[in-house]
Amino acid sequence: MAVMGIVATACGRSDDAASDDATGDRAATTTPTTLPAGPAAGEFGDLGQVCGPAPAGTTLTASDTGVTATSIQIGTVADPGYVGRPGINQELFDTAQTFSKWCNAAGGIFGREIEVKERDAKFTEHQARMIEACDEGDFMLVGGLGVFDDLGQKERLACGLPNIGFGTNPPSLGADLRQGPSEGSLDTMGIGDLRWLDEKFPEATQKIGFLTGGVAVTQIAAAKVREATDSLGWEVVYDEEFNPAGETSWRGFVEGMKSAGVRGFIWTADPSALASVLNAMAEIEFHPDFIRAIGNNYDNLLLSGSRVRDEQHLHRVVQLPVPRSGAGEAERRNPAVPGPHGRVRPGRQDRRSRHHRLLRLAAVCQGRR
């Protein structure tokens, strides 16, 4: 996964310049600005036309599993129904529904409307959702993520169901008929944000604290980050795991970090639990120089669950992707693998968004590749 830079920093607009330009003769002679025309229906960023009606003279037929003369059935996997973390990754369903409505309004994929089936794995039901997707005839799984996606891979492959979405566990990441929406592999990760933090907070990198959910998917992710920070010369002074089903109190963890002198905090888990950690930090007046959290924390659950509204605290949560004003190019390199790898330029989210592969369905809807 390409990890680059930060967002959520404060920005503002000065009213002074606007008031200067709106007074006297200057206001009377100002020429109105002509805004450029917006994209046409079905155009998406620099991908161009991705949705629209069928070409003139085309006769659509039921050409594949999940593909009828009028529709394409896709499945999207997420875990919002898990009782231990209600709503987790709900945005995956929201994104699928929003995109499909937008695309269908433009004419669908070559004239076929997208029908989204929400496959709620609820953490432990991933295998059941794969069997369901096969039995109900999904054309593809698109834009999803399951925390325990190692379950059900045998069933998915048995029915020839492609998956264009995130992978979390090695059996899923390395499985056939799968393409991730972002660059990366089992032995590489993006460390552009870590390099930026290394330059921005050099002293804090010598007092690093890790707090990780005690489940395979987050343990593997944290281990990769730890390998990267070790290669950068960072010093870890605190490293603990917590119960992924939830903790009754986070006070002991944050007091432990404070006692250890942690100045840079690396979080590998979900946004609702991070919100609770932020609340506990605020209670004891513990504010690290930065908090590095993976992209799934870019979620309303972080803000709705946290009582912290202090901009000075929250703006230091590192997220991905970066805006165009990010910190240069991010070099993708696994410290354990010598030699250069590819380079990822920030600011190209239209080609790396969770659903950019869905846009490519226009090229394959007549038959699976």
pLDDT higher than 70, residue 131: yes
Percent above pLDDT 70 for the chain: 72
The pLDDT, as a whole number, for residue 313 is 45
Domain ranges of the chain: 47-181+353-364, 192-330
pLDDT in tens, 211-227: 999 988 889 889 989 99
pLDDT higher than 80, residue 11: no
Assigned token pair, 173: 């990441």
Q: Is residue 116 a contact partner of residue 97, using CB atoms and an 8 Å limit?
A: yes
- CATH superfamily ID and name for 192-330: Response regulator (3.40.50.2300)
Q: What is 47-181+353-364's CATH number?
A: 3.40.50.2300
The separation between CA 342 and the C-alpha centre of its own chain, rounded to angstroms, equals 20
Buried b (16+ CB within 10 A) or exposed e, 249-266: ebeebbeebbebebbbbb
- Describe the crossing of helices 271-283 and 251-260 by its angle, rounded to 10 degrees: 60
Percent above pLDDT 90 for the chain: 47
pLDDT in tens, 344-366: 222 233 333 334 444 444 333 33
The pLDDT, as a whole number, for residue 156 is 95
